[in-house]
Amino acid sequence: MRNLKYMLEDLTDAMEVDSQKVVPARWQGVDVSQRPEATMMELLHVNAEAALFGEDLDYYREQIRPNLPWADDHFMERVCGHPINPGIEWKNWPWGNSAEKSLRDGQFNHNYMERYWPRYARAGVGNPTRTAQDFIDLRSEGSPIRGIRHEYGDLAGLVRDLAAEPDTRQAYLPVWFPEDTGDAHKGRKPCSLGYHFIMRNGKLDVVYYLRSCDFAHHLRDDVYLTVRLLLWVLNECRKINPEVWQHVTPGRLVMQITSLHMFINDYNRMFK
CA distance 262 to 16: 10
**Paired strand residues for 255:** 48, 208
Give 42-79 as a DSSP string: EEEEEEEEEE---S-HHHHHHHH---TTHHHHHHHHHT
CA distance 243 to 247: 8
Question: How many other β-carbons are positioned within 10 Å of the β-carbon of residue 196?
Answer: 18
Q: Is 237 helix (H, G, I), strand (E, B) or coil?
A: helix
Residue 32 has a pLDDT of 59
Domain 4-271 class in CATH? alpha beta
Residue 33 has a pLDDT of 62
User: What are the extents of the domains in the chain?
Assistant: 4-271
**φ and ψ at residue 146, rounded to 5 degrees:** -110, 145
How many helices (H) does the chain have, and how many strands (E)?
8, 8
Please, are residues 40 and 21 in contact by the beta-carbon 8 Å criterion? yes
Per-residue pLDDT of the chain (272 residues; tens, 9 = 90+): 899 999 999 999 999 999 999 987 766 656 656 677 779 999 999 999 999 999 999 999 999 999 999 999 999 999 999 999 999 999 999 988 888 888 988 999 999 999 999 999 887 666 789 999 888 887 777 789 999 999 999 999 999 999 999 999 999 999 999 999 999 888 899 999 999 999 999 999 999 999 999 999 999 999 999 999 999 999 999 999 999 999 999 999 999 999 999 999 999 999 98
